[in-house]
Amino acid sequence: MSSDHSDALVFFGATGDLVYKQIFPALQALARRGRLEVPVIGVAKSGWTLEQLQARARESLEKHGGVDEAAFAKLLSRLRYLDADYNDATTYDRLRELLGAAAHPAFYLAIPPSLFATVATGLGKSGCARGGRVILEKPFGRDLASARALNASLRAAFDDSAVFRIDHYLGKEPVQNLGVFRFENSLLEPVWNRDHVDCVQITMAESFGVQGRGAFYDGVGAIRDVVQNHLLQVVSLLGMEPPLTNYHDAIREEQVKVLRATRPLDVADLVRGQFTGYRTEEGVAPESTVETFAALRLHIDSWRWEGVPFFIRAGKKLPVTMTEVVVRFKRPPLSRIPRGDSNYIRLRLGPEVAIGIGARVKQPGEGNASVQTELDVVHYPDGDAMTPYERLLGDAMAGDPMLFATEEGVEAAWSIVEPILGNATALREYAPGTWGPEEAEALTEPYGGWFVDG
């Protein structure tokens, strides 16, 4: 696989919801920054014309970020459209003709995962894949076996170095900041280990429900939707060793090592919940046993993290919408403070970005009693910062793999959650607006409970 920049971008699913909400704004942003100087070909089976796709693109931008007329004109000048059936072999022959002299095209699959193998095979047989790259969205399979089957289909058409697996979470500035925060601050490394850290907690809370996506969500659930991918990626960034070099593969290799060192989950390490009223959502089965909440306890069997639990909780209809990491440190020797009131580092990843350091200070008045306080450093992102999809599409076209999941990492993550997929544990009902089932509190109780901001 050449390191040449892609000389064409083909996006399958051109008339779909993901392209409408995310990809057209990202393409306009790339055009504005001068990073989209290639033909852009949309492919879908909708009976549309190019003019209809252009109108769809303008409507998308009007609703999602605004139209930059100069950049939009550049995008339109490069935009092409192929109305065709993904299951028809002649589709890929027509696409090869439309690509013309392009020798290193990038193919972005904004389509249902069930079609990934079909499109990859079509691209391979037609010769379109030769010299090209493929970019695909998670989920990468539904379990370990299907992930391996998908990887085999991709390898049959593309070199492994030409496969870019998008987990858009890795394109977010706050998530990228985890690595910078860890390795660019020398005060952290001496204490970032089992000798000083008591536990690590990761929370991904959403105050809303399935938002009209009941049919999709009911086939996925919280573990497949965000734990196996987004949140295990966060675990790998928090737990990885310093990479030996700045080469992209070195960073990704260290992340994979963390996932491989993480024990497969046991049912004793899991609490599943479903919010009251979920089964009445449109598209949801009346007797659904899919979880809308999951709390887990992970164990990383490495020299650095032996004995330090990593706790994850993720769910819908919780009190707030936020994603946050809290690293709690052990109490000082002879200290009588409660276990959950020791020092901590809090990393808020969204919706706002914040870093807080929890410390003990003397309580005013007589005696030497201490109280917990937090030293806040809040960062508001630059308004011109790249969106995750702008960054990821641009990086994939440039051949930069650093922010993309590897085959080994995907399979290692599935290996961790494989034992708890499906109805491995009882489903606990919880009221909307609460922090999930009461049983989830027992996971962290020995460590002072779940961290609550404020």
Nearest 10 degrees: Cα torsion 382, 316, 414, 118: -80
Q: Is residue 230 flagged as an active site residue?
A: yes
Preceding amide of 351 cis, omega within 30: yes
Q: Which of 212, 326, 276 is nearest to 432 (CA)?
A: 276
Task: Answer yes or no: are the C-beta atoms of 359 and 385 closer than 8 Å.
Answer: no
Distance between CA atoms of residues 29 and 35, nearest Å: 9
Distance between CA atoms of residues 158 and 120, nearest Å: 8
Q: Which of 29, 15, 38 is nearest to 133 (CA)?
A: 38
Q: In the chain, helix, strand, coil percent, each to 5? A: 40, 20, 40
Distance between CA atoms of residues 105 and 145, nearest Å: 29
**Residue at 198: amino acid letter:** D
Q: Which of 231, 180, 181 is nearest to 205 (CA)?
A: 231
Say which residues have a Cβ less than 8 Å from residue 163's Cβ, sequence separation at least 6: 133, 134, 136, 154, 155, 407
**Residue at 324: amino acid letter:** E
Q: Which of 413, 444, 442, 440 is nearest to 427 (CA)?
A: 440
Q: Which of 412, 4, 391, 396 is nearest to 164 (CA)?
A: 396
Q: Which of 94, 91, 98, 96 is nearest to 119 (CA)?
A: 91
- Enumerate the β-bridge partners of residue 286: none
Task: Answer yes or no: are the C-beta atoms of 240 and 412 closer than 8 Å.
Answer: no
Distance between CA atoms of residues 450 and 313, nearest Å: 9
Q: Which of 104, 168, 230, 299 is catalytic?
A: 230
Distance between CA atoms of residues 283 and 217, nearest Å: 9
A 10 A CB-CB count for 452 gives: 10
The three-state DSSP-derived secondary structure of 120-134 is HHHHHHHCCCCCCEE
Q: Which residues are catalytic, by number?
A: 230
